[in-house]
Amino acid sequence: MFSIRNPLRPRRVVHAHCDVPCGVYDPEQARIEAESCLRIIEKYHASEDPLFRARCIHVKEERAELAKQHLDVLWHDYFKPEHLDRFPNLHETFWNAAKQASKVKHTVDRAEAQRLLELIDEVDRFWIESGGPEKTRVAGRPGARAQAAATA
């Protein structure tokens, strides 16, 4: 395989970028990981098997870390300074949610995992009110989420 370089083709690239240029964001991603944590904690308590319980703790820590990472991406990349005017407690909510995700890493207390879900849902409300579903998701995704956003 060989090709002739187009002489008109520029040698330099300029980035009209977004850190990840996909522009797709959805708190659902964090919520799914947080739901996993909740269920894993329930399964942990329901089991007597030490090996299974060890696996539960291991996997829960992974999932909680992922939830935290997804929250961070939303916080840094999706939300912009102008959103602060509209959602003055945006930073605090994210801070609390990220801290809560850390807490879920440490604990097997179901209530803490539940609290994480609630904080993610607060983030989700900001996302919906800022037009996230229309602006960041690829149009035409079937399913309940679009309906939920429409009735919110």
Q: Which residues lie near another protein (CB under 8 A)?
A: 8-19, 21, 23, 76-77, 80-82, 130-131, 135-136
Task: Say if CB 90 and CB 52 are below 8 A apart.
Answer: no
DSSP code, position 130:
T
Q: State which residue, 81 or 143, has the beta carbon closest to another protein.
A: 81
Q: State which residue, 69 or 136, has the beta carbon closest to another protein.
A: 136
Number of C-beta neighbours around residue 105 at 10 A: 18
Using alpha carbons only, give the angle 52, 64, 135 rounded to the nearest 5 degrees. 135
**Nearest-approach distance from CB 145 to another protein, in angstroms:** 18
**Nearest-approach distance from CB 14 to another protein, in angstroms:** 4
Q: State which residue, 84 or 148, has the beta carbon closest to another protein.
A: 84
Q: Which amino acid is at 76?
A: H
**Nearest-approach distance from CB 59 to another protein, in angstroms:** 33
Q: State which residue, 50 or 81, has the beta carbon closest to another protein.
A: 81
**Nearest-approach distance from CB 52 to another protein, in angstroms:** 44
**Nearest-approach distance from CB 18 to another protein, in angstroms:** 5
Task: Say if CB 25 and CB 77 are below 8 A apart.
Answer: yes
Number of C-beta neighbours around residue 123 at 10 A: 25
Q: State which residue, 46 or 131, has the beta carbon closest to another protein.
A: 131
Task: Provide CB contacts within 8 A for 34, sequence distance 6+.
Answer: 63, 64, 67, 101, 104, 113, 116, 117, 120
